[in-house]
Amino acid sequence: MKIGMLTSGGDCQSLNAAMRGVAKTLYNNTNDVEIYGFLDGYKGMITKNYKLMKEEDFSGILTEGGTILGTSRTPFKYINEPDEEGRDKVAGMIKTYKDLKLDCLVMLGGNGSHKTAALLSQKGLNVVTLPKTIDNDIEGTEMSFGFQSAIDVATRTIDEIHTTAASHSRVFIVEIMGHKTGWLTLHSGIAGGADIILIPEIPYNVNEVLNTIKKREKQGKKFTIIAMAEGAISDEDAKLSKKELKEKIKTYTFPSVAYQLSDELQKRAGQEVRVTIPGHVQRGGIPSASDRTFATRIGVEAAGLILRKEYGNMVCIKDGKFSKIPLEEVAGKTKMVNADNELIRQAESLGISLGRKA
């Protein structure tokens, strides 16, 4: 049995744990398996840049963050355009697959990477995928690995902001990763005890944010913590068309949405406002124990699909149980936070403001 393996898109914690879960299960359940690791994502498959992995390559990597294979982004919207060397990307990947006589390609990646995986599956390649992203926004699965570790990092940042915010009676905005979805901000905001949580799916009203700050002041609470997703948007901007918003963003002089909100609050809140951005720290470091366990289990399930020749599927978890979902049902879809989500309701019941008008 010959298996190709690659990690695609942004990195995260537990990629190595997931690959280890796949490899160890295959090694333990078949006497003859070869694993070819493509370096730097789909790029390695396009350029035929790989290494034949040894069983020991998958030892000692459970606790390592990042990916031993390296990763890169190969945007799906450019997948049919030649690469920098003029190569046909799709044809290159198919040729590499066939030249190595692979039985299956294992891909660990997020939304965009799954579009490419689905395309390769449609082209006749045997593909099995694992959902990877700190954003937890892959359709068809309740959880993706990397998410729990990123929550821990973002939560620790919010935790450590509390003391300095309280000491100086300041408003602090902690900008959390998440361009399109707010799962990471929502979970870490609740876990870290944020007073206001702003996510892309629920456009915020600046006056509501101010009202929450003033309300806390009247209650004798001299500081406010705002957990803000990097893709959060005001209700004013949300009314604009994509073209209008794009033109407006060009006029901004702020490095990010947190600084834009900070400037507005600084002028109107009567308190000092500071911004903290943990950035790529959220992707790095040692994976959490729960993430290692989840990634290992999802790797075992992926190996099971390979052994049973159930190709064309992504391993997923539904209602707390591992399952599979066809790639065509996953590709091109993003799991958003619904405004009436149970977690949203519970957050507001706690008195946390989502920045929307009552």
Tens digits of per-residue pLDDT, 193-222? Answer: 999 999 999 999 999 999 999 999 999 999
Q: Is the pLDDT of residue 99 over 90?
A: yes
Q: What is the pLDDT of residue 330?
A: 95
Q: What is the pLDDT of residue 251?
A: 87
Tens digits of per-residue pLDDT, 171-199? Answer: 999 999 999 999 999 999 999 999 999 99
Two tokens, residue 8: 């695609």
Tens digits of per-residue pLDDT, 252-300? Answer: 889 999 999 999 999 888 889 999 999 999 999 999 999 999 999 999 9
Q: What is the pLDDT of residue 269?
A: 82
- The torsion angles phi and psi of 85, rounded to 5 degrees, stand at -100, 5
Tally of CB atoms within 10 A around 214 = 15
On the 0-12 / 13-18 / 19+ scale of CB atoms within 10 A, 227 is buried
Edge-to-edge strand ranges of the sheet holding 127-131: 50-52, 34-38, 2-7, 104-109, 127-131, 313-318, 321-326
> Cα(344)–Cα(119) distance, rounded to whole angstroms?
35
Q: What is the pLDDT of residue 271?
A: 82
Are 145 and 12 in contact by the 8 Å Cβ rule? The answer is yes
| Termini Cα distance of the chain | 59
On the 0-12 / 13-18 / 19+ scale of CB atoms within 10 A, 180 is middle
Catalytic residue positions? 135
- The torsion angles phi and psi of 201, rounded to 5 degrees, stand at -75, -20
Q: What is the pLDDT of residue 279?
A: 95
Two tokens, residue 332: 């091109």
Closest CA to 192 of 153, 230, 159, 149: 159
Average pLDDT over residues 231-247: 92
Q: What is the pLDDT of residue 148?
A: 98
pTM score of the predicted model: 0.95
3 state DSSP class of 37: strand
Average pLDDT over residues 344-352: 96
Edge-to-edge strand ranges of the sheet holding 273-276: 196-198, 224-229, 171-176, 273-276
Sign of the torsion angle spanned by Cα atoms 285, 291, 296, 302: negative
Tens digits of per-residue pLDDT, 118-161? Answer: 999 999 999 999 999 999 999 999 999 999 999 999 999 999 99
Tens digits of per-residue pLDDT, 330-342? Answer: 998 999 999 999 9
